[in-house]
Amino acid sequence: MSASALPERLVEFVGELREHGIAVGPGETVDAAAAVDALGLADREQLRAALAATVLRRSGQRATFDSLFDLYFPIAVGAAESAGKPPADAAELREALVAALAEGDEARLRSLASAAIEEFGRYGSFGQGGAGAGAGGMRGWSAYQALDRVRPDALLNRVLAAIRTDDSAFGEAIARTEARSRITRYREAVQAEARRRTAELRGRERIAHYAVPPQTDLVSFTNATRAQLAELRRTIQPLSRKLATRLATRRRRARRGQIDLRRTLRRSLATGGVPMRPAMRDRRPGRPELVLLCDMSGSVAGFAQFTLLLVQALSDQFSKIRTFAFVELTDEITGLVTAGSADPEGLARRILTQAKLTRWGMSSDYGGSLASFADGWPDAVGPRTSVLILGDGRTNGGDPNLDAVRRIADRAKHVHWLNPEARSAWGTGDSAALQYGRVVPMHECCNLRQLTQLVTELLPG
């Protein structure tokens, strides 16, 4: 990379960070440019650390930053240089990988990741001119294809035997954790190498858009992988503590109500009849009640499960929380959710197996479910109750039963509908979201960032 091209590359890098939800302002960009000017490009890891220190503000952004840094400031162009002789076949590569994993040799692991992509990750025709030289057809590098041939996870026991120094159960657990961590780093190195080479072929912007995973708080609930859902569940406790602090602060600020005219006039006698210090009526302290009504069908179940766990973690902020789930039928699951905090991963499975939610299949019946809730639990909703309905509003062609929603809204203090589908999909196909939105406020809630914002704004203080 020439010195004249470096400022343009840095600006492109900052722009891509913004596209991935990392707020980088002009001040941070200037600081990053100063860091590049001071450090140069001689030490890549030092440059990575300096740029991260100048542009990142929040935890949870580093993984996205590292993936984009590897695209815009790659370790090499074309095939990366190998540290030593490259393995001749898969068996030799696996032997070399066991040795590198046992020693924790990061440079050798990166070299073996490059070798795995070079030997086993190539697909399509590249011709004789190196990367991108072929004519026509799909071509590129696949991390999945390379890892499928190398199978690093199958080497766990061999690596464990090489690094184990203590035969006790505690020493075994530490060694196993370290072995898995090293294998994970190797897998990530293979994926990064595949992205780097594919970016040379197809363009950095395209690969950054499609291949770099979003931040955890921007992962779509309905499209999240199992690993991403597990990461979301790990954020519940720290996020709930932060939200509980916000709600408690808002409640303290809202405790003082309307002006007390009599006390204000009495105070004004000391200032010549001018009401310099208004007296306020203190509101009666009290915590609100909350009811959740959740669609547990299909991909919506992941969104509902995560929201249930988050609200349950905030239970101290409410005088009462009652939870109901539905697919074709509605049933109360308050006890299941309370007990589910100890095993959040299995919550959805227990709800579907222990609650009576279906007659014949797993297709949502919003009309029947809303009616059964309104008729079957009239005592659940009262004038102090806030209701959150969680679902995509897709009725599978059935009657949306807007009247049942109106009856719930008439009895409740507030009703809000959280929809995990993007707003652009509302009203398409069998979606009745726009119809429901005319009765109660409908909010787009596709990811953790939107959910956090909505919980802070909508839940009563």
Over the chain, what is the mean pLDDT? 85
Nearest to 387 by CA among 306, 318, 296, 284: 318
The tens digit of pLDDT for each residue in 349-401 reads: 888 888 888 877 778 899 999 999 999 998 999 998 999 999 999 998 889 99
Residues 100, 61 share a domain: no
Q: Are 313 and 277 members of one domain?
A: no
> Looking at the predicted structure, is the pLDDT value of residue 133 above 50?
no
Two structure tokens written together for 409:
């809204």
What kind and span of H or E run contains 257?
Answer: strand 256-259
Residue 227 lies in a domain: no
Is position 450 within any domain?
yes
Q: Tens digit of pLDDT for each residue in 158-216?
A: 999 888 887 788 888 888 999 999 999 999 899 988 988 888 888 888 888 877 878 88
Q: For residue 418, what are the β-bridge partners?
A: 390, 443
- Does residue 84 register a pLDDT over 70? no
Rg (CA), the chain: 28
Q: Is residue 221 part of a domain?
A: no
Strands (E), 284-410: 289-295, 320-326, 330-332, 385-390
Report the pLDDT value the prediction gives residue 209, as an integer from 0 to 100: 82
Best mean pLDDT range from 20-29, 127-136, 245-254, 281-290: 20-29
Q: What is the DSSP letter of 130?
A: S
Report yes or no on 223 lying in a domain. no
Q: Which two tokens stand for residue 97?
A: 């990988």
Same-domain status, 249 and 381: yes
Same domain, 194 and 296: no
Clarify whether residues 197 and 336 are in a common domain: no
Same domain, 397 and 337: yes
Q: Which two tokens stand for residue 79?
A: 């095939």
Strand pairing of 442-444 and 414-419? Answer: parallel
Q: How confident is the model at residue 260 (pLDDT cuts 50, 70, 90)?
A: confident
- Assess if residue 230 is contained within a domain: no
pLDDT at 458: 78
- Whether residue 431 is predicted with pLDDT greater than 80 in this model: the reply is yes
The tally of domains found in the chain comes to 4
Q: How would residue 135 be classed by pLDDT, with cut points 50, 70 and 90?
A: very low
Whole-Å CA distances, 301 to 68, 350, 404, 440: 32, 12, 22, 22
Query: Does a structural domain hold residue 149?
Result: yes
Residues 41 and 66 in one domain: yes
Q: Domain check: are 416 and 454 in the same one?
A: yes
**Assigned domain for 85 exists:** no
What confidence score (pLDDT) does residue 11 get? 92
Same-domain pairing of 22 and 155 = no
Q: Exposed e or buried b for every residue in 307-343, given b needs 16+ CB within 10 A?
A: bbbbbbbbbebbeebbbbbbbbbbbbbbebbeebeee
- Its domain, for residue 270, covers 257-285
What ranges make up the beta strands (E) of 270-319? 280-282, 289-295
Q: Looking at the structure, tell me whether residues 450 and 383 fall in a common domain.
A: yes
Compare 128 and 449 and report the one with higher pLDDT: 449
Whether the full predicted model's pTM is greater than 0.75, yes or no, is no
Same domain, 18 and 66: yes
CATH number at residue 370: 3.40.50.410
Q: Which residue has the higher pLDDT, 337 or 461?
A: 337
List the beta bridge partners of residue 385: 289
Amino acid 392: pLDDT: 93
Measured between alpha carbons, how far is 159 from 99 in angstroms, rounded to an integer?
8
Question: Under a CB-based contact definition with an 8 Å cutoff, are residues 337 and 236 in contact?
Answer: no
- Residue 272 belongs to some domain of the structure: yes
- Which has the higher per-residue pLDDT, 72 or 133? 72
Indicate if 270 and 135 belong to the same structural domain: no
Environment class of 22 (CB within 10 Å of its CB; exposed 0-12, middle 13-18, buried 19+): buried
